[in-house]
Structure 1
Amino acid sequence: MKLYIAEKPSMAAEIAKYLPGPVSRKDGYITTGDGVITWGYGHILRQAEPDEYDPKYERWRVEDLPIIPQNWKLLVADSCKKQFEIVKSLIDQATEIVHAGDPDREGQLLIDEVLDYVNNQKPVRRILLNALDEHSIKKAIVSLRDNQEFHDLKQSALARSRADWLIGMNLSRAYTLAAQQAGHRTTLPVGRVKTPTLALVVRREREIEGFKQVEYFTVKADFEHDSTIFTAYWKPHEEQPGLDTEGRLADKTIAKDLLTSLKSAKEPAIVISCETTEKKEQQRLPLALSTLQVMAGKKFGYDPQVVLDTAQKLYERKLTTYPRSDCEFLPEAQHEDAATIIGNLGRIANNELAGWAAKADTSISSRAWNDKKITAHHAIIPTVERCNFASLNETERNIYYLIAQTYIAQFYPVHVYDQTRAELEHAGETFIANGRIIKELGWKEIYSADTEEKKEDDSTMLPSMLKGDRPLFIRASAEKKSTKPPGRFTAATLLAAMKEIHKYVKNPDLKKQLKDVAGIGTEATRATIIKELIDRGFLKEETKRKYLKPTEPAYLLVDILPEEITYPDFTALWEDILHQMAEGNASLDTFLMQQARFTASLCTKARGADIPLKGEYHCPRCRKGVLQLRNGKHGKFWGCSRYPACRASYNDKNDKPDMPAPPVKKQGQG
Structure 2
Amino acid sequence: MRLYIAEKPSMGAEIAKCLTGPVIRKDGYLETKDGIVTWGFGHILRQAEPEEYDEKYKRWRMEDLPIIPEKWRLLVSESCVKQFEIVRGLIERADEVVHAGDPDREGQLLIDEVLDYVENTKPVKRILLNALDEKSIKKAIHSLRENSEFLNLKQSALARARADWLIGMNLSRAYTLAAQRAGHRIVLPIGRVKTPTLALVVRRERELENFVPVDYFVIKAKFAHGNGEFMTNWKAKDEQIGLDSEGRLIDEVTAKALVDKFQQENNETGVVTLYETTEKKESQRLPFSLSALQVLAGKRFGFEPQLVLDTAQKLYEKKLTTYPRSDCDYLPENQFEDAKVILSNLANLDQSQIASWANKADSGIKSRAWNDKKISAHHAIIPTQERCKFSTLTEAEQKLYGLIAQAYIAQFYPQHVYLQTKVEVHYLKERFTASGKVIKVLGWKELYSAADAEEKKEDEDALLPEMKKKDEVLCKEAFFDKKATRPPARFTAATLLAGMKEIHKYVKNPEAKKKLKDVYGIGTEATRATIIKELISRGFLQNEGKKKTLIPTKAAYLLVDALPDEMTYPDSTAVWEDHLHRMAAGDTELKLFLAEQESFTKALCEKAKQMVIPIHEGQKKCPRCKQGVLQLRNGKNGAFWGCSNYPSCRATYEDDHGSIKKPDHLCPRCKQGDLRLRNGKNGAFWGCSNYPSCRATYNDDKGKPDFNR
User: Using the alignment, how far apart are the partners of 1:452 and 1:587 within structure 2?
Assistant: 51
Structure 1 residues 124 and 664, CA, compared in 2 at 3 Å: closer, same or farther?
Answer: closer
Q: SS at the partner of 1:60?
A: coil
User: Using the alignment, how far apart are the partners of 1:170 and 1:451 within structure 2?
Assistant: 52
Which residue of the partner structure matches residue 36 of structure 1?
A: 36
Which residue of the partner structure matches residue 700 of structure 2?
A: none
AA in 1 matched with 2:205 = E
Give the C-alpha shift of residue 199 in structure 1: 0.4
Which residue of the partner structure matches residue 484 of structure 1?
A: 486
Residue 589 of structure 1: which of 588, 591, 595 is its match?
591
User: Using the alignment, how far apart are the partners of 2:552 and 2:56 within structure 1?
Assistant: 35
Which residue of the partner structure matches residue 676 of structure 2?
A: none
User: Using the alignment, how far apart are the partners of 2:248 and 2:514 within structure 1?
Assistant: 27
AA in 2 matched with 1:538 = F
Residue 553 of structure 2: which of 542, 551, 554 is its match?
551
94-103 or 215-224, which moves further after superposition?
Answer: 215-224
Structure 1 residues 661 and 351, CA, compared in 2 at 3 Å: closer, same or farther?
Answer: farther
Which residue of the partner structure matches residue 695 of structure 2?
A: none
User: Using the alignment, how far apart are the partners of 1:426 and 1:642 within structure 2?
Assistant: 72
Which residue of the partner structure matches residue 432 of structure 1?
A: 433
Q: SS at the partner of 1:471?
A: strand
Which residue of the partner structure matches residue 568 of structure 1?
A: 570
Q: SS at the partner of 2:656?
A: coil
Which residue of the partner structure matches residue 691 of structure 2?
A: none
Q: What's the TM-score, normalizing by structure 2?
A: 0.92
Structure 1 residues 633 and 172, CA, compared in 2 at 3 Å: closer, same or farther?
Answer: same
Q: SS at the partner of 2:489?
A: coil
Deviations 1:559-618 (A, max 9, x none): 111101110001000000100010111100000011111111111111111211124311
Q: SS at the partner of 1:187?
A: coil
Give the C-alpha shift of residue 662 in structure 1: 8.4
User: Using the alignment, how far apart are the partners of 2:566 and 2:409 within structure 1?
Assistant: 44
Q: SS at the partner of 1:232?
A: strand
Q: How does 1:386-405 map to 2 (within 5 A)?
A: 386-405=387-406
259-268 or 168-177, which moves further after superposition?
Answer: 259-268
User: Using the alignment, how far apart are the partners of 2:593 and 2:404 within structure 1?
Assistant: 37
Which residue of the partner structure matches residue 270 of structure 1?
A: 271
Q: SS at the partner of 2:308?
A: helix
Which residue of the partner structure matches residue 220 of structure 1?
A: 220
Tell whether 2:622 aligns with 1:619.
yes
Tell whether 2:517 aligns with 1:515.
yes
Tell whether 2:323 aligns with 1:311.
no
Tell whether 2:177 aligns with 1:203.
no
User: Using the alignment, how far apart are the partners of 2:667 and 2:349 within structure 1?
Assistant: 88
Structure 1 residues 455 and 198, CA, compared in 2 at 3 Å: closer, same or farther?
Answer: farther
**Does the aligned pair in 2 maintain the 1:448–1:454 contact within 8 Å?**
no
User: Using the alignment, how far apart are the partners of 1:368 and 1:148 within structure 2?
Assistant: 29
Structure 1 residues 428 and 28, CA, compared in 2 at 3 Å: closer, same or farther?
Answer: same
Tell whether 2:641 aligns with 1:638.
yes
User: Using the alignment, how far apart are the partners of 2:656 and 2:267 within structure 1?
Assistant: 90
**Does the aligned pair in 2 maintain the 1:310–1:396 contact within 8 Å?**
yes
Which residue of the partner structure matches residue 658 of structure 1?
A: 661
The count of corresponding residues between Structure 1 and Structure 2 is: 666
User: Using the alignment, how far apart are the partners of 1:425 and 1:50 within structure 2?
Assistant: 72
The two structures, once aligned, show a CA RMSD in angstroms of: 1.6
* Identical residues among aligned pairs (%): 66
Q: Which runs of 5+ in 2 are unaligned?
A: 670-709
User: Using the alignment, how far apart are the partners of 1:445 and 1:223 within structure 2?
Assistant: 34
444-453 or 547-556, which moves further after superposition?
Answer: 444-453
Q: How does 1:82-481 map to 2 (within 5 A)?
A: 82-264=82-264, 265-450=266-451, 454=455, 458=459, 460-481=462-483
**Does the aligned pair in 2 maintain the 1:447–1:453 contact within 8 Å?**
no
User: Using the alignment, how far apart are the partners of 1:630 and 1:28 within structure 2?
Assistant: 54
Tell whether 2:612 aligns with 1:610.
yes
Give the C-alpha shift of residue 259 in structure 1: 0.7
Give the C-alpha shift of residue 478 in structure 1: 0.4
AA in 1 matched with 2:276 = E
User: Using the alignment, how far apart are the partners of 2:57 and 2:212 within structure 1?
Assistant: 49
AA in 2 matched with 1:469 = D
Q: SS at the partner of 1:450?
A: helix
Give the C-alpha shift of residue 266 in structure 1: 2.9
Q: SS at the partner of 1:652?
A: strand
Q: SS at the partner of 1:277?
A: strand
Residue 647 of structure 1: which of 650, 667, 688 is its match?
650
Q: Which runs of 5+ in 1 are unaligned?
A: none
Structure 1 residues 328 and 2, CA, compared in 2 at 3 Å: closer, same or farther?
Answer: same
**Does the aligned pair in 2 maintain the 1:639–1:650 contact within 8 Å?**
yes
User: Using the alignment, how far apart are the partners of 1:659 and 1:78 within structure 2?
Assistant: 54
Tell whether 2:533 aligns with 1:527.
no
Deviations 1:368-415 (A, max 9, x none): 011111111000000001111111111111111110010000000111
Larger CA Rg, structure 1 vs 2: 2
AA in 1 matched with 2:289 = A
User: Using the alignment, how far apart are the partners of 1:464 and 1:364 within structure 2?
Assistant: 34
Deviations 1:526-545 (A, max 9, x none): 00000000000001110011
Give the C-alpha shift of residue 417 in structure 1: 1.0
Q: SS at the partner of 2:482?
A: strand
**Does the aligned pair in 2 maintain the 1:19–1:32 contact within 8 Å?**
yes
Give the C-alpha shift of residue 475 in structure 1: 1.3
Q: SS at the partner of 1:408?
A: helix
Give the C-alpha shift of residue 456 in structure 1: 9.5
Q: SS at the partner of 1:375?
A: coil
Structure 1 residues 662 and 486, CA, compared in 2 at 3 Å: closer, same or farther?
Answer: farther
User: Using the alignment, how far apart are the partners of 1:349 and 1:629 within structure 2?
Assistant: 71
